[in-house]
Structures are given as C-alpha cells and as structure tokens.
Chain A
Amino acid sequence: MQTLITTHNLTKRFGDFTAVDAISFEVGKGEIFGFLGANGAGKTTAMRMLTGLSHPTSGEASVAGFDVYRQPEMIKRHIGYMSQKFSLYEDLTILENLRFFGGVYGLSRRQIKEKSAALVEQLGLEEVAKKLTGSLPLGWKQKLAFSLALFHDPQIVFLDEPTGGVDPITRRQFWEMIYAAADRGVTVFVTTHYMDEAEYCDRISIMVDGKIAALDSPAGIKTKLGVQSMNDAFYQLARGAQRSE
C-alpha cells in the first residue's frame, strides 16, 4: 500500500519543553487515521508540523511525498484542512466561499464554476447557495467546510475536531462523507473527542505526554488493553498523563 504520511522520531521542542516526543507512524492511501490524545498531549503541535505550519526540531516526516522541512509549501498545496474553529467566512455567501477557496488553491474559473455547481447539488444547497454562510445551521456548515477542504482534490485531508457540538444525526452523516472520501482514495487524518468516532477509523493513535502510547486498529487496541470500549482504552492510557496543555 502506498504511504502518504511517514514520520520517524518526529520531535518538537519549545525551550526545554518537549511538546512532541519522537513520534513515528505511517498512514496509507485511503486510510482513515484517528489521531487521539488528552488535552495538551501534543496533538495540535504534531498536526501543525504535518500540515507545514511549524518546523520540527528533529526527526523526519513526509506528507504526500513532500518533506516537512524543505517543502512545506508543496505540502500545503496537496492537503486539505478543516478545523472546528475556523473554516468558512460567515459573511460571504456559500458560492463566494467556494469561489474564494477555489481561487486560493489555484483552480481555474471554469473548474470552480463546475465544481461549485456539483457540490451545491450534491449537498442539496441549491436554495441557499446565494445566502450568507453564517445563516446555515452548524451541521451544514461543517459538511460544507469538509467539502471545501476536498475542493482542490487533495490526496490527504486533515480534520481537527470536525464534529464538535454537532447533533448526532448530522455527525453521522458527516462520517458517511468521510467514508465516501476514503473510498475514493483520499487519506483522512482526523482528531475527535467522541470515542465512538474513534471506532469509525481504520487505525488510531493515542498520544500521551507527547508520545504515541498506542497505535493500532480500534479492535486491536481494545484487545491489547483488555477493555470493552474505546472510552476505557483511552481512560486507561491517558489517566497517567503527567501534563495537560
């Protein structure tokens, strides 16, 4: 299987504080990789390095075939990114958002037009396409933001707590969109606080104090720790954490 993310002893220090401590893992094409950890375990820092936003202190990593030290700009061009906090401009209409982000990723005017039309139809947003994004319900915004992260056909998409606060049905519809993307061969790298969502991933890693404490399929982790649920697994691993944020 083709690997799209490779890290080897990837480390980030801030002064004498080691935020990410020599993590190594690989993520394959079309895989849904759950990236879990307690608050302050180093998830965000690790994700910043992988998305080309932050320079590692040591170790190696490549994303979509590009080196995180030398080609962060190439990485940014080949990944999609969506976070719970910022994803869309609320004071632009849906179509304006699509046009803007399409432009940011260098799509041609024609491509943007075609893709926007397809996307609006696929999400059933025809009636509201010219309305301000801020007026949409949260669940729709999140679905739209996810589609937008995939707008330029990236090989990998990074999702930072994409479903926080979303109602249970929309949350599941969102995951169906993730499944569909993965089935098309897109690699999905996702963080979440919902333990049931960890189960939807092909493999998950659980970070504790900057290190990867477990890395396996959800079933594998549960078996190894001898627990019934992901909740218990997480609790058992993170309970002993020395630090939090």
Chain B
Amino acid sequence: MKAITIDGISKKYGKTQALDQINLEVEEGALFGLIGPDGAGKTTLFRILTTLLLADTGQASVTGLDVVKDYKEIRKTIGYMPGRFSLYQDLTVEENLNFFATIFGTTIEENYDLVRDIYVQIEPFKNRRAGKLSGGMKQKLALSCALIHKPTVLFLDEPTTGVDVVSRQEFWEMLRKLKEKGITILVSTPYMDEASLCDRIALIQKGQLLSIDSPTNIIQQFSKPLYAVKTNLLHQLLGDLRTFPLTDTVFPFGEYLHLTTKQQLEEDQLTIFLQNKGHQKIQLHPTKATIEDCFMELMTN
C-alpha cells in the first residue's frame, strides 16, 4: 500500500488555479520532498491531504484512507506541522506538548521514545513560553507536537523557511532519524539545495508538477550542455554571455554563472569571444547540473 496517493487533484481559488491535475504517489517509509517557490501550490496540496480543504476535482488518500470520506480516521493517524509557527505562544513548551498529547488521547510518557531526540534539545526550556523561543527551538517544539501521537505519516509544510543554515541542517538530520523509525514524511521547501536530502522529490510550479523522481534521476535527465563560467568582470559577463550565439540560458549560480548552450561547445571559441569583450582570468568548465538547474530548465520549457 502507498502511504499517499494523489489522483488528478485540482483546486481553484477564484480565478487562480492553485493546483492543476496533480498525480503523485508516495511510498511507505519514504522521505518525500515537494519543492517549489511560494505560491506554487504546496500549502494547498498539504491542506487537501490533511483533510483541511476539499479539492475541486480528483481523489487522494493517505494510508489508504480517502481524504474526504475517511477524514476522521486520517486525522487520528497523521502528524501535521503547518507553514507558520502555529503553537500557543502563551503556553510553555511543556504545556504545549502536553496539550497536543492529550487531545490525541495519549501522553508524553507513552510516546517519549519517538520525540526524545528532538525534545531533549528544548527540554531545558520546558517552562519557557513558546512565544519566547528562538526560531530553531520553535521548529523543534512544533515537530515534537506533530509527533507526539506517533503518526504514521508526517506532513511538514515549509519547516525550514526563514531558518538559518545551521538549524536547517539540524532539522534535516532529525528528519533522517524519523525516517529510520519508519515514518513516512512529506516535506515541502522552497530551498532547492534541500532536494538532495530526500529519497524522491516532486518539483512544483504554478500548481503543476514539473517532475517526480529521485534527485539523482532528475539531475541525470538534465539534457543540455551545462558550463560554469567565471571571469574578473562578473556583472558584465552576464550580459556578454547572452550575446554569444550558442547561448541558451545564463544564470548566476553562486560564484559562477551557469551557461546552457544549444549544442556542445568548443570551449576555445567562447574563451576567445570573452577575451574580445575584455574579460580576463576566464574560467570555463563543464559542470554537473543541480536540482536548481533542472528546476529552471523545466520552468522555461
């Protein structure tokens, strides 16, 4: 049985097509990433799967339960961490966790094993009001609250947005451990570099899935020749490369520019082209695509 099945789900808000014919399957025990910018439809899809919204058309099920018909059963078995911090700011860390344990009919003690690794990090502050926690700690508390009833599927909507690199890295470490415990995790993120940490990913943009596969497969499917280019005149390089006849796209990419071309490049040809434009210290080499390159390629298709 699949943990999540989505079959032809569409949703419209007024004139905006938030989701357009989404089809997706998530294997049991997988760490699945839904990757796309704000407004792509990630939250809408999460809300449909967590039984908070009704789709206009299509069907979806979570652990074999229909999201419309069996919403009561689903609510007992899933864990959900919404996009913005949604705990009671005026309750303490412990009171929050206790509350969520109780409304799911369990206790902290009963499922402590599952949350221990995460909760010990915030336990020293258990008498602090949630509103006074740092971003990273809030995130850990929210995850603990989503886990406290031992869900079989965990929905995490942009848990790492606005969080610094260190906290993000720690968070993904926690997810990896949860996955080892057999929990299926669906996580959404706008950060493309987090894609490689998932077993499988779906790239989403404007309500449509651009691609669904493992990160490595998606990268392998990148079809165009890709080069990293760098010179002493980085700002100018962008414009100059766009006038190069074989250029398809040019994008800044970290310290390099990523250049895709319409056909394989004679590297010397480009070097001479750039030298004529006054560039020095030219570095040019073929490079491996990242998920972000793939995303941009799929966006422009």
How does the 8 Å CB contact mask read for B125-144 relative to A, with 1 for contact and 0 for none? 00000000111110000000
The B-contacting residues of A in range 209-233, CB under 8 angstroms, are 218-219, 229-231
Q: A138-B38, A164-B162, A176-B238 are in contact. Are A169 and B299 (CB under 8 A)?
A: yes
A117 within 8 A of B: no
Q: Which residue of B lies closest to A241 (CB)?
A: B166
- Contacts from B to A (Cβ < 8 Å): 36-40, 133-137, 161-167, 169, 190-193, 205, 235, 238, 251-255, 292, 295-296, 299-300
Of the listed stretches A46-54, A63-71, A104-112, A192-200, chain B binds A192-200
Q: Contact check, A166 vs B252: say whether CB atoms are below 8 A apart.
A: no
Which of chain B's residues have a CB closer than 8 A to the CB of A40? 134-135
> Which of A39, A167, A182, A238 contacts B37, CB < 8 Å?
A167
Q: Are B235 and A182 in contact (CB under 8 A)?
A: yes
Q: Judging by beta carbons under 8 Å apart, are A168 and B292 in contact?
A: yes
A151 interface residue per 8 A CB criterion: no
With contact pairs A138-B38, A183-B235, A193-B164 given, residues A235 and B252 touching in the complex (Cβ less than 8 Å)? no
CA A38 to CA B135, docked complex, whole Å: 10
For window 137-180 of A, CB contacts with B under 8 Å fall at 137-139, 161, 164-170, 172, 175-176, 179
**Residue-wise interface mask of A (185-210) relative to B, using a CB-CB cutoff of 8 A (1 in contact, 0 not):** 00000000111100110000000000
Chain A residue nearest to B169 in the complex (CB): A235
Beyond A39-B167, A166-B38, 13 extra complex contacts between A and B, CB < 8 Å: A37-B164, A39-B162, A39-B164, A164-B38, A168-B37, A169-B300, A176-B252, A196-B253, A199-B255, A219-B255, A238-B165, A238-B166, A244-B134
Task: Known A167-B37, A179-B238, A245-B135; judge A235-B165 contact (CB<8 A).
Answer: yes
Q: How far is the CA of A172 from the CA of B40 in the complex (A)?
A: 18
Do A244 and B165 touch across chains, with their CB atoms under 8 A apart? no
11 pairs from A and B in contact (CB 8 Å cutoff): A38-B164, A39-B163, A137-B39, A138-B38, A164-B190, A165-B161, A179-B235, A182-B235, A183-B235, A218-B255, A219-B255
Residue of B nearest to A173 (CB): B251
Contact residue among A161, A167, A218 (Cβ-Cβ distance under 8 Å from B162):
A161
A165 and B190: CB pair below 8 A? yes
Closest to A180 in B: B235
Complex interface: chain B residues within 8 A of A235 (CB)? 165-166, 169
Chief secondary structure at chain B's binding surface: mixed
Our pick among B39, B167, B191, B253 for the contact of A138 (Cβ within 8 Å) is B39
Bound Cα distance A230, B169 (Å): 14
Q: How far is the CA of A141 from the CA of B191 in the complex (A)?
A: 20
**In the complex, what residues of A have CB within 8 A of residue B134's CB?**
39-40, 243-245
Given A167-B299, A169-B300, are A193 and B255 also a contact pair (CB < 8 Å)?
no
A residues less than 8 Å from B295 (CB atoms): 168
B236 to chain A: closest residue by CB: A183
Q: Which residue of B lies closest to A166 (CB)?
A: B37
Interface centre among B164, B167, B235 (most CB of A within 10 A): B164
Closest 7 CB pairs of A and B: A165-B38, A245-B134, A167-B37, A244-B134, A199-B254, A38-B164, A39-B135
Residue in B166, B192, B252, B296 whose beta carbon sits within 8 Å of that of A200 in the complex: B252
- Taking the complex as formed, is A35 at the interface, i.e. its CB lies under 8 A from any CB of chain B? no
Say if the beta carbon of A234 comes within 8 Å of chain B.
yes
Minimal Cβ-Cβ distance residue in B for A202: B234
Partner of B167, one of A194, A231, A243, A244: A244
Which among B163, B192, B235 has the highest number of chain A CB atoms within 10 Å?
B235
* Residue of A with least CB distance to B137: A244
Which B residues lie within 8 Å of A238 (CB)? Answer: 164-166
Chain A residues with CB below 8 A from B40, complex form: 167
Residues of B within 8 A of A139 (CB): 37
- Per the bound structure, the CA–CA distance linking A218 and B166 in Å amounts to 18
Taking a contact as CB atoms under 8 Å apart, the answer to whether B36 and A167 are in contact is yes
* Nearest chain B CB to A222 CB, angstrom units: 9
Instruction: Establish whether residues A193 and B166, one from each chain, have CB atoms under 8 Å apart when the complex forms.
Output: no
Closest to B15 in A: A135
Query: Shortest distance in angstroms between A2's beta carbon and chain B's nearest beta carbon?
Result: 19
A218 to B252 CA separation, bound complex (whole angstroms): 15
Smallest CB separation, A169 vs chain B (Å): 5
CA distance A136 to B299 in the complex (A): 18
A234–B165 contact, CB under 8 A? yes
A166 and B190 alpha carbons, distance in the complex (Å): 8
B137 to chain A: which residues have CB within 8 Å?
244
Q: Which residues of B contact A175 (CB under 8 A)?
A: 252
CB distance from A143 to the nearest CB of B (A): 14
